[in-house]
């Protein structure tokens, strides 16, 4: 089956390459064994057309007819199919080894190519602390152009989408089912706001596909793949946000977790992600933009303020990172300074509250 000889039965015209490929994919997705890993490897090697040619006409014909019907349905509902390797497919998502072949989008597709995409995730059973943390996170990004990506689940996800809309931040909702609805139903109005106010929904699932226990973890990889970094606001252990965080780490995205409250059961996941070095500790929401390098041309506040603390050395303090502890030996080598002098300055900075010492003679800069 070649793309050049495929005809649209509704119009009689020859199909373009991308449209023909989509129809092949919609056809294949309805045939036995297509979604198996072994089959997908074969399809990648021989191509969709060649794989489809191995089916008998009595199986292929009805599947092809349903594919045309689904294509028309997508057009009626203004759902845009984005095909891996072709124009319009999100470039960050395309980097994933398991990127979906087709990503369906509804709404403002340009939202997928806007600057500074950031995933914000958390528990469905959000506490008042978690809701307050979402508020603070958006405060820390005030005045900056960025895109908020989340999963439209109850709790932290819904709070993040709502906050983005209220603050005119572009938002993308990754759904774990087809784009025919929003799950849970209680978020239907919120989902409609996302589309109506310049954001979009995305999913790798065909129209009408229901959510299941398998689609939610798969959806989490889409969140991780669309963004430059993921922030875990509040997560239990275990939890879906933990899956998203570990996937983001696998995809070489930066992962941040808000500082956990030691007595908060709902933030046990945050603590574990930090302890296992999956996530970087986010001391304060306003530090996220600095950590990502999204704020440029500004003095770091800790360095600026330290100039008033006479005995402290800007060089020592600015050489430290607030999120990753540096061993003393590394700091000495980096500064090319006398170890005794560095030790003295670190002690002075620690006593003044600018530096924190960690086990193993390691140091971080305190964020104020």
Q: How many CB atoms lie within 10 A of CB 119?
A: 32
What does the block give as tokens for 107?
Answer: 């709404």
CA of residue 291 relative to chain centroid, distance: 17
pLDDT score, position 158: 94
The separation between CA 279 and the C-alpha centre of its own chain, rounded to angstroms, equals 14
Give the residue ranges of the chain where pLDDT is below 50.
1-5, 7, 9-14, 262-263, 296-312, 368
User: Please, which residues bridge with residue 231 across strands?
Assistant: 120, 256
Q: What is the pLDDT of residue 313?
A: 55
Structure tokens at 8: 């649209």
Q: Contact, 306 vs 368, CB < 8 A?
A: no
Inter-residue contact 204 to 29 (CB < 8 Å)? no
Angle, CA of 260, 263 and 268, to the nearest 5°:
50
Whose CA is closest to 123, among 234, 229, 213, 231? 234
Residue 328: asked if its preceding bond is cis (omega within 30°), the reply is no
What's the CA gap between 89 and 37, in Å, rounded? 22
Which residues are CB-neighbours of 348 under 8 A, at least 6 positions away?
Answer: 311, 312
Domains of the chain, earliest start first:
1-76 (no CATH), 107-291 (3.40.50.450), 301-365 (1.10.10.10)
The per-residue pLDDT for 264 is: 62
């Amino acid at each position: 089956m070649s793309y050049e000889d495929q005809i649209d039965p509704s119009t009689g015209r020859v199909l373009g390459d991308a449209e023909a490929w989509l129809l092949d994919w919609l056809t294949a997705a309805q045939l036995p064994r297509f979604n198996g890993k072994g089959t997908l490897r074969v399809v990648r090697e021989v191509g969709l057309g060649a794989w489809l040619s191995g089916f008998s006409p009595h199986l292929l014909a009805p599947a092809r007819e349903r594919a045309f019907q689904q294509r028309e349905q997508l057009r009626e509902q203004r759902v845009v199919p984005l095909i891996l390797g072709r124009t319009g497919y999100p470039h960050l998502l395309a980097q994933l080894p398991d990127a979906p072949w087709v990503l369906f989008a509804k709404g403002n597709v340009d939202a997928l190519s806007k600057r500074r995409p950031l995933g914000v995730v958390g528990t469905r059973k959000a506490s008042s602390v978690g809701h307050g943390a979402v508020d603070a996170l958006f405060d820390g990004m005030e005045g900056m152009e960025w895109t908020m990506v989340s999963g439209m689940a109850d709790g932290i996800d819904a709070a993040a989408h709502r906050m983005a809309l209220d603050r005119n931040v572009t938002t993308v909702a990754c759904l774990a089912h087809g784009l025919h609805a929003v799950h849970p139903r209680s978020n239907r109005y919120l989902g409609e706001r996302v589309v109506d106010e310049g954001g979009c929904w995305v999913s790798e699932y065909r129209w009408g596909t229901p959510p299941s226990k398998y689609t939610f973890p798969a959806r989490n990889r889409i969140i991780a793949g669309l963004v430059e970094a993921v922030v875990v606001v509040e997560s239990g252990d275990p939890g879906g946000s933990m899956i998203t965080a570990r996937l983001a780490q696998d995809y070489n995205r930066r992962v941040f977790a808000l500082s956990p409250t030691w007595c908060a059961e709902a933030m046990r996941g945050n603590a574990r992600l930090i302890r296992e070095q999956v996530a970087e500790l986010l001391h304060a929401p306003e530090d996220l933009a600095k950590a990502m390098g999204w704020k440029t041309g500004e003095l770091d506040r800790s360095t600026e303020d330290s100039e008033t603390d006479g005995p402290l050395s800007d060089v020592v303090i600015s050489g430290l990172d607030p999120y990753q502890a540096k061993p003393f030996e590394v700091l000495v080598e980096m500064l090319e300074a006398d170890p005794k002098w560095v030790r003295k300055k670190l002690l002075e900075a620690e006593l003044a509250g600018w530096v924190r010492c960690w086990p193993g003679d390691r140091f971080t800069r305190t964020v104020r």
